[in-house]
Amino acid sequence: MSPAEIQPITILAVPFHGQSHLNQLLHFSLILSSRNLSVHFAAISSSIHQVQLRLHGWPSTSLGNIHFHELALPPPAPLPPSSPPHLSHALRLFDTPLLLLPSLSSLLHSLSLSSRRLILLHDTFMSVAAPEAASLPNAESYSFQCVSAFQALFELQPNIRPKTRANPIVAAHFDDWVPKPILERVKRLEHERPVEAGIIANSCRPLEGEFLDLLAEEYGPKKVFAVSPLHLIGPRVAVVSEKRHECLVWLDKQSVASVVYLSFGSTTTMAGVQIEQLALGLRRSGQRFIWVIREADEGAFGSEVDSRTGGLPAGFEEEMEGFGMIMKGWAPQVDILAHPSTAAFVSHCGWNSVMESLSFGVPIIAWPMQIDQPRNAMVLTEYLKVGVIVREWDRRREVVPAARVEEVVRMVVVEEEGKEMRERAKKIGEEMQRAVAEGGSSMADLNAFVDHITR
Same domain membership, residue 81 and residue 135:
yes
Confidence of residue 21 (pLDDT cuts 50, 70, 90): confident
Q: How many residues are there in the chain?
A: 455
Write the DSSP assignment of 188-202 as a string of letters: HHHHT----SEEEES
229 cis-preceded (ω within 30 degrees of 0): yes
The predicted pLDDT at position 280 comes to 97
Same domain membership, residue 260 and residue 221:
no
Closest by CA to 256, choosing from 288, 292, 291, is 288
Q: What percent of the chain has pLDDT over 90?
A: 62
Indicate whether 73 pLDDT > 70. yes
Same domain membership, residue 161 and residue 191:
yes
- pLDDT tens, residue by residue, 137-188: 999 999 999 999 998 888 776 555 555 555 556 555 555 566 777 777 777 7
Q: What is the pTM of this model?
A: 0.90
Same domain membership, residue 181 and residue 86:
yes
Same domain membership, residue 217 and residue 263:
no
The predicted pLDDT at position 300 comes to 44
Rounded to an integer, what distance in angstroms lies between the CA atom of residue 330 and that of residue 63? 25
Full domain range(s) for residue 173: 8-233+436-453
Confidence of residue 230 (pLDDT cuts 50, 70, 90): very high
**Identity of the residue numbered 71:** L
Q: Which residues of 301-310 are buried (b: 16+ CB within 10 A; e: fewer)?
A: bbbeeebeee
Same domain membership, residue 275 and residue 209:
no
Interacting residues of 444 by C-beta distance below 8 A, sequence separation 6+: none
Does 241 reside within a domain? no
- pLDDT tens, residue by residue, 298-318: 444 444 444 444 689 999 999
Domain at 214, CATH number: 3.40.50.2000
- pLDDT tens, residue by residue, 384-417: 999 999 998 888 889 999 999 999 999 999 999 9
Rounded to an integer, what distance in angstroms lies between the CA atom of residue 236 and that of residue 234? 6
Indicate whether 95 pLDDT > 60. yes
Average pLDDT, the chain: 87
* Higher-confidence position of 97 and 448: 448
The predicted pLDDT at position 437 comes to 97
The predicted pLDDT at position 162 comes to 56
The predicted pLDDT at position 163 comes to 58
Domains of the chain: total: 2
* Higher-confidence position of 19 and 11: 11
Q: 224 and 21 in contact (C-beta within 8 Å)?
A: no
The predicted pLDDT at position 259 comes to 98
Mean pLDDT of 376-380: 94
Indicate whether 238 pLDDT > 50. no
Same domain membership, residue 161 and residue 45:
yes
Does 135 reside within a domain? yes
Q: Which residues of 351-386 are buried (b: 16+ CB within 10 A; e: fewer)?
A: bbbbbbbbbbbbbbbbbbbbbbbbbbbbbbbebbeb
Which residues are part of the catalytic machinery? 21, 123
Does 402 reside within a domain? yes
* Cα dihedral value 410, 415, 417, 420, nearest 10: 100
Same domain membership, residue 254 and residue 227:
no
Same domain membership, residue 149 and residue 44:
yes
Same domain membership, residue 440 and residue 428:
no
Same domain membership, residue 133 and residue 211:
yes
Same domain membership, residue 213 and residue 250:
no
Rounded to an integer, what distance in angstroms lies between the CA atom of residue 247 and that of residue 327? 9
Does 240 reside within a domain? no
- pLDDT tens, residue by residue, 321-343: 999 999 988 899 999 999 999 99
Confidence of residue 61 (pLDDT cuts 50, 70, 90): confident
Does 183 reside within a domain? yes
Rounded to an integer, what distance in angstroms lies between the CA atom of residue 150 and that of residue 383? 11
Can you say how many angstroms the Cα of residue 317 is from the centroid of all Cα atoms in its chain? 30
Confidence of residue 320 (pLDDT cuts 50, 70, 90): very high
The predicted pLDDT at position 319 comes to 94
Rounded to an integer, what distance in angstroms lies between the CA atom of residue 152 and that of residue 222? 15
> 3-state DSSP helix/strand/coil percent for the chain, to nearest 5?
45, 15, 35
The predicted pLDDT at position 418 comes to 93
Does 238 reside within a domain? no
